[in-house]
Structure 1
Amino acid sequence: MTDSDRARPAFRSRGTHRARQKRSHALALFFVAAGALLGWVLPRWERHLPEAGLTFDASTAQATLAAIAGGMITLAGFVVTAITLVVQTVQTMSPRLVAALGHFSSYLVLFGLLIGTALFALVALSQVRSDDVPRVTVTLAVGLVLVDAVTVLSLLASLRHAVTGGGLARAVGERLRTVVDQTYPAAAQASGPPPPAPGRPGEGEAIRHRGQPALILAVDEPRLVRLAARHDIHVRFLHTVGDFVGSDTAVAHLYPAPGRHPDEARQRRLARRVAACVRFGPSRSIEQDTAYGLRLLADIAIRALSPAINDPTTAIEALDQIEDVLLRLADRAHGPYWLVDEAGRPRVSCPAQHWPDLVSLALDETLLYGSANPQTVRRLHALLDRLLAATADDRRAPLAERREALHRLAATALHDPLLNAVAAQPDPQGLGGIREPP
């Protein structure tokens, strides 16, 4: 399929980083508030119920609740320390990964659960009397300790993936596959090029970024398309998601439908509503930005290949994910695209990268920094061979150029004939894989 204007329906990101953050904060606060409230209400409520639960005398119940409260507070401090260490480790792979992956929202919920349990025990402790022991409350506190312990063990076990380059590459690859399927629909879902929007790029009502200089993080596509369809307008974006824009920079232009001449005041109101569909921020997000996902994978690979780290196996794990993403992109339409409304009419025009741009972003720096490492060269040979075999003729030129560049760079960096011959063998494992029969 040749690169041309493509059309696709609008989609809503499956949970943006900001939305996940808000949910995590809300859930953590809920656990804290619920723990305090339940510790106050439950002992009073159970006085009207038949006795049930574990049998404790007053002194034992008080000691148990006090131990639970102290233990949960200590455990919460341990979780904070563990998260801090993990963040520092992740930042050594790429400082952008922490924000991009949002790995640690679940740990905020865990922190809220632990503090909520501690508050439940402390408030319930004030309800224990020598002649009135809330047995259900104490039993529930013991049960919450078990729930907290299982949750802590489960989440800490997942940290072993978060602190490795391969685990981070797999996390980025998993998120990126979803983004690719949304932003680059399969060939059968892509329509032919729709008619161009009225007017030229410099005409129409300008939609400007009025805040501080920032990056375009995302566009609320469903809302924008509904707005364009309702008012019968076209929107042509001048910048794509991930671009840095300065204050008062024109981000897009708004065009009325042919034959319609709305008044300037209405156009300005529409422009403000369109501008509200664009979200800005200090750092890029992977949610609608396939190129940024590839950028993160390339960062992991080249950081692992640096002399200070010298970990080519991690670079191979990043290349595994890059290969999978490029294979998914190989038969998709690329370049500028249109968002269409429910009737299939084009409403929003957006710029986007072409196939050669994505190949360059994914591979060029790893070709440069990995050319002196036989393991990386062998994996790159296998990656390029597989992509060339799976790609249509009109998409092979960027791949063939990089295979030739890989031969030149490896021959220059690996002077020893034996190492040069070893590196010339394609190997999907880098080193140690099964060779193809001659």
Structure 2
Amino acid sequence: MTRPPPAAQSPSPPSPDRTRLPHGNGRSQRARRARGNGIALLLVVAGALLGWALPAAERHLPAPALDFDAATAQATLAAIAGGMITLAGFVVTAITLVVQTVQTMSPRLVAALGHFSRHLVLFGLLIGTALYALVTLSQVRGEHVPRFTVTIAVGLVLVDAVTVLYLLASLRHAVTGGGLARAVGIRLRQVVDGTCPAEAEHPPAPGPAVRTGTSVPVVRRGPPAVVLAVDEPRLTKLAARHDLHVQLLYAVGEFTGDGAPVARVDVKGELDPRTVRQVAACVRYGPGRTMEQDSSYGLRLLADIAIRALSPAVNDPATAVQALDHVEEGLVQLAGRPLGPVRLLDDRGVPRVSCPAPEWADFVSLALDETLLYGSSNPQVVRRLRALLDRVAAAAPEHRRQPLTERRDALDRLSDGALPDPLLRRVAARPDPQGLGGRSPSPSPAADG
């Protein structure tokens, strides 16, 4: 097929640097993980302390309780402690099996979703209840039976049972491709709202900051790693306080090595080495990408789910269609928003930090190209892709439709080559939001543009 000459194409105009206020602090995922660990530890310690303190306080504060004698109380507390320890082991086994299942969809999903921090809290609750029962058991001596304390232990069993049932029920969604795609899609929408806000949500910039004088590189020292996040508020305030302009050279999600310059600081006079270290500390690194400030990584994970489902070993096009549902929502959300490099504004509206970021064509390629390649031989996936392209094209402005048109043309070529039977080609030519079995959407004038 002869390609049209460059003059016949209508490429998208280059996106000017967009501006917005700083978002987040670059530490929220680490804070959530630390909070989950802290709550689990607190529950364990609280169980031991309450088991020690309540029996002593009960002598002076009589309270209604179940009627236990010493032998019954000891048997009850021993059964509770043993049962909670056994149940904690069962929860660990269940989580391990779920992690192994999730990794078959994509090894990146477990770390990206942070799905299992709340199950650590459940583990702390179970072990805390076991410690509470064991410490209380040591307080049952002779005729002294802390009946109220034993009654609390029975109540904790009910709380633990309800919590275990609730969280185990939620795990069934984590072991399906559709459930994982839904979790990624929900998180993706939140990240897009923070990193790519609508144009009306940020003030206009008064113009580029003056960048005359010295340009100082910020060199990273440490093992090779991925840029996880940037503490945007801290970096912007630091640049405003010292009258700097910081240009980050790596986008969130990119890999960098030891000795690589990760930023450039423009300053009118001399720059204190301490300030350079503070700028470097605003960029966080880790062994793998996360979705904290990386909206393109959400599309990467959805594409992973789709292409794994389309592999010959799995052969599950219905799961690929479920992943494409959330790919479509993500692209529709991005279609009308300013994308590309971004300048962060300080409190006075002066651009202080320049950050590289993907353009619209990059998002489209990441979300669709691999699924186009591996799904072109399946009528269900082809139909779902056609419906996706039509809807995204209807939501996208005119200058952003060319990448979608290119994918539609590629889909036609790939599906025609992979489906030699005329019936299957005719079936695959129909857009269908359900893949197979759904109604044909009404053609949109925008989709034909």
**TM-score relative to the length of structure 1:** 0.96
User: Does the residue aligned with 2:226 lie in a helix, a strand or coil?
Assistant: strand
Amino acid at match of 1:98: V
Asked if the contact 1:7/1:194 (under 8 Å) is kept, the reply is no
Q: Which residue of 2 aligns with 1:243?
A: 254
Q: Does 2:343 align with 1:343?
A: no
Q: Which residue of the other structure, out of 313, 317, 324, is the alignment partner of 2:322?
A: 317
1:225 corresponds to 2:236:
yes
Equivalent in the alignment of 2:225: 214
Counterpart selection for 2:364 from 342, 359, 384: 359
Distance 2:81 2:296 in 1: 47
Displacement after TM superposition at 1:16 (Å): 2.8
Whether 2:58 is the aligned partner of 1:46: answer: yes
Match of 2:269 among 225, 246, 261: 261
Distance in 2 of aligned mates of 1:192 and 1:17: 30
Cα distance change, pair 14–117 in 1 and its aligned pair in 2 (3 A): farther
Structure 1 residue 302 and structure 2 residue 307: aligned?
yes
Q: Counterpart amino acid of 2:376?
A: S
CA distance in 2 between partners of 1:349 and 1:271 (Å): 16
Residue pair 2:360, 2:400 contacting (<8 A) in 1 also: yes
Equivalent residue for 2:290?
285
1:164 and 1:216, CA in 2 relative to 1: closer, same or farther beyond 3 A? same
For residue 347 of structure 2, give the secondary structure of its aligned residue in structure 1. coil
User: Is residue 2:129 matched to residue 1:117?
Assistant: yes
Deviation by residue 1:180-205 (Cα, 9 ceiling, x = unmatched): 011111022255566445559x9711
Q: State the match for 2:415 in structure 1.
A: 410
> Deviations 1:352-403 (Å, cap 9, x if unpaired)?
1111011000000000000000000000000001111121110100000000
Quote the sequence identity (%): 67
> 2:80 aligned with 1:68, yes or no?
yes
Letter of the 1:240 partner, please give it. Answer: A
Tell me the CA shift for residue 270 of structure 1. Answer: 1.1
Aligned residue for 2:375? 370
- The alignment's C-alpha RMSD in Å is 1.7
1:437 & 1:82 partners in 2: Cα distance?
46
1:32 corresponds to which of 37, 44, 56: 44
Q: What CA distance in whole angstroms lies between the structure 1 residues aligned with 2:206 and 2:266?
A: 16
**Is the 2:84–2:126 Cα contact (8 Å) retained in structure 1?**
yes
8 Å contact kept, 1:10–1:340: yes
Aligned-partner Cα distance in 1 for 2:202–2:375 = 36
TM-score (norm 2): 0.93
SS in 2 for 1:95: coil
Q: Which moved more, 1:182-191 or 1:135-144?
A: 182-191
> Does structure 2 retain, via aligned residues, the 8 Å contact 1:13–1:288?
no
The offset of 1:156, in angstroms, is: 0.3
1:52 positional shift: 2.4
User: What displacement does 1:332 show?
Assistant: 0.6
Q: Deviations over 1:298-356 (max 9, x none)?
A: 00000000000001111011100010010010011111110001111100001111110
Alignment partner, residue 134 of structure 1: 146
Whether the 8 Å contact between 2:226 and 2:253 is mirrored in structure 1 is yes
Is the alpha carbon distance of 1:358 and 1:212 closer, same or farther for their aligned partners in structure 2, counting shifts above 3 Å? same
CA distance in 1, matches of 2:442, 2:144: 80
Rounded Cα–Cα distance in structure 1 between residues aligned with 2:360 and 2:410: 18
Change (3 A) 1:293 1:203: farther
Matched, 1:383 2:395: no
Verify the 8 A CA contact 1:24 1:105 in the aligned structure 2: yes
Helix, strand or coil at the partner of 2:97: helix
In 2, the alpha carbon distance for the partners of 1:116 and 1:409 equals: 58
Matched residues, number: 431
- Do 2:21 and 2:202's aligned partners in 1 also have CA atoms closer than 8 Å? no
Q: Structure 2 unaligned runs (5+)?
A: 1-11, 444-449
C-alpha deviation, 1:15, in angstroms: 6.8
SS in structure 2 at match of 1:204: strand
Unaligned runs of 5+ in 1: none
